[in-house]
Amino acid sequence: MKTGNVIALASRIREKANRLIVSELAKRGISGIVPSHGDILIRLFDGQRYTMKDIAERIHRTKPTVTILVDKLVDLGYVVKEKSVEDSRVTFVALTEAGLALQPVFEEISHKLNTAVYRGLSDNQAEVLEAMLQKINNNLDI
């Protein structure tokens, strides 16, 4: 078997997964949200508010990237930004009711995606696959 194709395969898998997510959102009448918004929304589904810095650290993105993504979610009405009373340099992000209403939709889509990803794999194969991907991920930590 030819090797050296892991990154290309991972890229294609990510593209297909993102396409599935966007398609499923569209089927439910939800537009404007892209898969990169999902990381932020999933963090906020616990009902807490987080600083932009906390979100950036938790989803492994830069603060400027998170700011752009959050601003889009604000425009769509899914989150609000609130300045800290104690420190005006700190901005908190929290879900609106519309944002909270996305949680069951995200759970449905996540279930559909996971079902497709793991189709035909035994539990052991799925565990080995995840362990190998985690090892590759760790290998690329610089």
Residue range 55-85, pLDDT digits in tens: 999 999 999 999 999 999 999 999 999 998 9
DSSP 5-53: -HHHHHHHHHHHHHHHHHHHHHHTT--S--HHHHHHHHHHTTS--EEHH
Among 26, 12, 21, 88, CA closest to 51 = 88
Using one digit for the tens of pLDDT, what is the confidence trace for 13-53? 999 999 999 999 999 999 999 999 999 999 999 999 999 99
Q: The whole model's pTM is what?
A: 0.86
pLDDT at 88: 86
pLDDT at 1: 65
The whole-angstrom separation of Cα 69 and Cα 61 is 10
Query: What is the CB-side half-sphere exposure of residue 106 using CA atoms within 13 A?
Result: 19
